[in-house]
Amino acid sequence: MQSFNYRDGELYVEGLSARALAAEFDTPCYVYSRAALEGALNEYQQALEGIPHLVCYAVKANSNLAVLEVLARQGAGFDIVSVGELERVLAAGGDPAKVVFSGVAKKASEMARALEVGIHCFNLESAAELEVLNQVATEMDKVAPISVRVNPDVDARTHPYISTGLKENKFGVTMDEALRMYQRGAELPNIDIQGLDCHIGSQLTELSPFIDAIERQLSLVDQLQSQGITIHHLDIGGGLGVRYRDETPPSIASYIEAVRTAIGDRPLQLVLEPGRSIAANAGILLTRVEYTKQTPERNFALIDAAMNDMIRPALYQAWLDIKTVSQRSEGEVLDWDLVGPVCETADFLGKERPLNIEAGELLSVFGAGAYGFVMSSNYNTRGRAAEVLVDGERAHLARERETIEELLRLEHRLPADS
């Protein structure tokens, strides 16, 4: 059964109607499908069967505790980029021994917490970071497992804001610098060299950039081996694209098959960091049309979701499919700009969408499970939306809607005598 489908003209999320969910939890509201999350993760697990592997879900894609718990129960590891994400994984029941810690500016205190709980590996992104980690590990009398993130200068042919594998990007180090870091790491008693890491970008729809990057990684593995430095796991990152509109990304199975072919029979554990390909199409954003406004130039549908709820269209010019929750035959189909209440011209979720709508219409924004709520904000003092996880015919309130009182709680007025 598809997790999101229309029955008798009404949108359903697994066994529950989207209209009923909106009535119970109000709008705007993020709704996730447990079956879709588990299904995507299982596709990775099944494709990797027979070889040593670790699928580390990228927490930054969707960090809701219920989402993380669903994946942890299915055996997932986690890719984190902050101590906050680490604490989320632990709170959700994730295994710290399956956590890889990425990110370019880890604080010493974050390193210490990760060492304390015993994570799988630190993905290092600079020579300076190696020295700080060694110092922290020495002070704690621990040994830090590491991999070095190489920047292979591979063009992922994606949006420049989500491209990470070019030499002008802030991520990783050159092949030559990585070699020097490994040589230095081999000299340090509190550093344990475990892997080699690479991540070239997000929303990739072709296999060739992945394979190109892997081949460059393997050449460095061979070079290191010739110097007596053994690499035990190859972390190829994430980035597999999903279908939002008319993209034709490779399937998870074909992607993994190509990766396995490229690696061959090398005795390497394969580590992956998928995020979008697990969560994006496992979620929708429900929003309601408050008003319609027609001008000689445009038809505006003024909705209750805004760029603070879903910033991807404004930030990345991302296209997300938007449909009415109820399909109806009466009325006229017009091209609508779906704009929110935030005081910015960039506040839109879609433009020129052919829809049959009127005031009060309930809409669904598809592909909203990744980089939706996690990138939301309180701009214009707007409380962040509720998050709901649907499991068959049950709905679990995974995150309550923020109230104005909660937004103001951490702020303080000036003293009375000032």
Q: Are 339 and 347 in contact (CB under 8 A)?
A: yes
189 is annotated as contributing to ligand binding: no
The number of CA neighbours under 13 Å toward the Cβ of 255 is 25
24 is annotated as contributing to ligand binding: no
Class of residue 8 by CB neighbours under 10 A (exposed 0-12, middle 13-18, buried 19+): exposed
Q: How many residues comprise the chain?
A: 418
Class of residue 132 by CB neighbours under 10 A (exposed 0-12, middle 13-18, buried 19+): middle
The two three-digit tokens of residue 304, written as one number: 């209750």
The number of CA neighbours under 13 Å toward the Cβ of 405 is 0
250 is annotated as contributing to ligand binding: no
266 is annotated as contributing to ligand binding: no
The Cα–Cα gap between 122 and 312 comes to: 29
The two three-digit tokens of residue 240, written as one number: 């597999």
274 is annotated as contributing to ligand binding: yes
Please list the active-site residues: 343
239 is annotated as contributing to ligand binding: yes
Dihedral, CA atoms, 275, 277, 278, 282, nearest 10 degrees? Answer: 120
6 is annotated as contributing to ligand binding: no
312 is annotated as contributing to ligand binding: yes
273 is annotated as contributing to ligand binding: yes
Pairing of strands 299-303, 283-294: antiparallel
**Annotated binding residues for pyridoxal 5'-phosphate, as ranges?**
239, 273-276, 371
**Annotated binding residues, as ranges?**
239, 273-276, 312, 316, 344, 371
